[in-house]
Structure 1
């Protein structure tokens, strides 16, 4: 697994990189800011996961997240944050992140979260899930992020990826990533089957 980590705090960046690398299964490239992260995504083979610190100086975090999703070829991008706010977690997941990682979690939880996200899953700590007010209202939606639910609604309304991207103000490649993820989670083969499953359940 190849992971790109961007954090402007040297101690945090070096500690996380060392812990993940020590596992023996993860190759970490650590950089100090968003500019270096984009340089790495342009010059290196694509990463299985990009982890961006939310509070790096001189950057609009959500805009950088959206750009990183495109730059990394639609593969996962997660946000690392010193804040454990459910509202912030929802914001970054809505913007397309595959995970929200508070810096307060344990090293083992971080390691498992990185492997989880590299496998294409969405990560958010259980305590934030309990605090969130946006829990799914139907079993079929369990495990889908708010953004994936929006994409599923667009699919059910027979919208193309391009139309959904325009409506949600996201890149088309991000929508394709969400469609693949929700198809896997709904255990269907394609977007048509996803729409049929949702409509059969009385959603949208």
Structure 2
């Protein structure tokens, strides 16, 4: 029996996934959480084999949760199951140690098969997303530029972003200017939207 944890902030989605996966004779959902920062503790407590992670969750993203799992519970495999099939997400997830990446409209039988394959040590990535990820290439942004753009998403002024990032306003302006150039945008708001749409943030 393969023991599963489901992590998704939408209870309805978690319930539907659990119902589908529990129909399989060799799969058992033994834990469910609605926040990314609850994944490691729940996985440890329930002695799970595979964690199915959404990307956008409160507390910690699914990608961050996968990295935490790899560091703290290296025997537990993780599979991203998300609505957000952005090429940058695929690359970042694989770099964080995710063993699989599929979208939520994957047929139930294929999802169950992906879980089994991930459990045996294989890597499973939605073929269309894999192709898009290869074509898109890696994020052109540095870690700091991505951080600054993330802080700029809500339209905060440079002074506020600088205070949050513990940088000078001039340094923040430089990072924003470089990020605008790299994304082909004309404003920092547009640069943030482009980066988010590509899964670079």
Partners of 2:61 and 2:19 in 1: CA distance: 27
For residues 114-168 of structure 1, the C-alpha deviation after alignment (integer angstroms, 9 at most, x for no partner) is: 1111111101011123333269xxxxxxxxxx9xxxxxxxxxxxxxxxxxxxxxx
- 1:22 Cα shift? 0.6
- Cα 1:62/1:37, change in 2 over 3 Å: closer
- Cα 1:71/1:44, change in 2 over 3 Å: farther
TM-score norm. by structure 1 comes to 0.60
State the match for 1:27 in structure 2.
28
Contact 1:6 1:53 in 2 (8 A): yes
Kindly tell me the number of residue pairs found equivalent between the two proteins: 135
- 1:31 Cα shift? 2.2
- 1:69 Cα shift? 1.7
- Cα 1:61/1:16, change in 2 over 3 Å: closer
**SS, match of residue 55 in structure 1:** coil
C-alpha root-mean-square deviation of aligned residues, in Å? 2.2
- Higher gyration radius (CA): 2
Partners of 2:103 and 2:135 in 1: CA distance: 19
Q: How does 1:12-161 map to 2 (within 5 A)?
A: 12-29=13-30, 30-45=32-47, 47-133=48-134
- 1:10 Cα shift? 1.0
- Cα 1:130/1:70, change in 2 over 3 Å: same
- Cα 1:61/1:6, change in 2 over 3 Å: closer
Partners of 1:71 and 1:103 in 2: CA distance: 27
Structure 2 gap ranges (5+)? 139-201
Partners of 2:119 and 2:5 in 1: CA distance: 11
TM-score norm. by structure 2 comes to 0.60
